[in-house]
Amino acid sequence: MDVIMHSSSFLLPKLYQPVNKPVKNYALVVLNQHLPRFMPRLWDHANLRICADGGANHIFDEMYQITNDEDKKSTRNKYVPEIIEGDMDSIRPEVKLFYSSQVLLFALWFLHCLPSQGSKISDKSHNQETTDLHKCISRIHHCTPDDEKPNLCVLVTGALGGRFDHEAANINVLYLFSDMRIVLLSDDCLIRLLPRTHRHELYIESSVEGPHCGLFPVGAPSTSTTTTGLKWNLSESKMRFGSMISTSNIVQSEKVTVESDADLLWTISLRNLT
């Protein structure tokens, strides 16, 4: 069985990346919740930034506070997402106008050499069958060739710590796109899916994550899960909701390994980083 290596080195400054990073490229998806305090770091790592509908309001409103920037205007001009995608029922009109008129600036740049900026606005208001996060990930999935998918990791901010139906839908997206690396983030923790098709090696960045962690199946039960590197390891253990699941576990090694006959969610606490 092949191994997938995982690392949260995107939580470290770009300068301090380990040499053997399992991922080359990052995409950032900003959901409609408060931005995490480490948002500027994620922004710097990403080659593509997409706001899911009202996520754009939070970039507009909060980025200058997080960056401690005195000049609100120049911060807004600096942090312009490449795409705003969704059913457009949450983005405020002035925010939509601000980022779409950056496209006009782009036209001016062409003519007068102004700085190049501009968000593509992808209005999917006709689609009330899928969530805005689903729409964003569909776009990334579609645009990424299969052989490039393992090199890309999608970081999703504001995915946890809000309405439970939204959180459930966000977790469902991990399962719907299980051929992609997707990390759901809040200020306090992250979640990733560990597909049963592979063995998993998690390289723990202990300066920014841990020690609390959890591992459990959501859809189908697991009849055999084996781990190393945890305080309470599993050895061909059964896990299902209604019986045993591993929560409030503790990471005890720089490397955690997981092998299971079911898709599992891995969650780990985040330290108080800025």
Ligand X SMILES: Cc1ncc(C[n+]2csc(CCO)c2C)c(N)n1
Q: Site residues (CB under 6 A) for ligand ATP?
A: 31-33, 52-54, 86-87, 89-90, 131-133, 158-159, 162-163, 166-167, 170
Question: Out of ligand ATP, ligand X, none, which partner does residue 20 contact, by CB within 5 to 8 A per kind?
Answer: none
Give yes or no for residue 87 binding ligand X (CB under 6 A): yes
Using CB under 6 A, which of the segments 69-77, 101-109, 122-130, 242-250 binds ligand X? Answer: 122-130
Candidates 55, 76, 80, 132; binder of ligand X (CB under 6 A) is 132
d(CA 197, CA 218) in angstroms, rounded, equals 16
- 205 sits in the region (left: phi over 0; alpha: psi -120 to 50; else beta) called beta
Helix-helix angle 55-66:93-112, to 10 degrees: 70
Question: Out of ligand ATP, ligand X, none, which partner does residue 128 contact, by CB within 5 to 8 A per kind?
Answer: ligand X
Report which residue's Cβ sits closest to ligand ATP: 162
Q: If residue 61 lies in a helix (H) or strand (E), which one and from where to where?
A: helix 55-66
Q: Please name the amino acid found at residue 267.
A: T
Give yes or no for residue 129 binding ligand X (CB under 6 A): yes
Using CB under 6 A, which of the segments 128-136, 204-212, 235-243, 264-272 binds ligand X? Answer: 128-136
Give yes or no for residue 126 binding ligand X (CB under 6 A): no
d(CA 234, CA 227) in angstroms, rounded, equals 5
Q: Smallest distance, Å, CB 130 to ligand X?
A: 6
Q: Smallest distance, Å, CB 51 to ligand ATP?
A: 9
The candidate with the shortest Cα–Cα distance to 196, out of 234, 226, 171, 168, is 226
Using CB under 6 A, which of the segments 6-14, 104-112, 125-133, 197-205 binds ligand X? Answer: 125-133
Name the residue nearer to ligand ATP (CB basis): 24 or 120: 120
Question: Out of ligand ATP, ligand X, none, which partner does residue 163 contact, by CB within 5 to 8 A per kind?
Answer: ligand ATP
Question: Out of ligand ATP, ligand X, none, which partner does residue 129 contact, by CB within 5 to 8 A per kind?
Answer: ligand X
Q: Please name the amino acid found at residue 145.
A: P
d(CA 267, CA 31) in angstroms, rounded, equals 19
Helix-helix angle 132-143:164-176, to 10 degrees: 20
Tokens of 49: 């930034």
Give yes or no for residue 85 binding ligand X (CB under 6 A): no
Instruction: Spell 235-263 as b/e; 16+ CB within 10 A means b.
Output: eebebeeeeebbeebebeeeebbbbbbbb
Q: Please name the amino acid found at residue 134.
A: H
Q: What is the footprint of ligand X within residues 161-200 (CB under 6 A)? A: none
Candidates 128, 235, 243, 274; binder of ligand X (CB under 6 A) is 128
Residues that bind ligand X (CB under 6 A): 87, 128-132
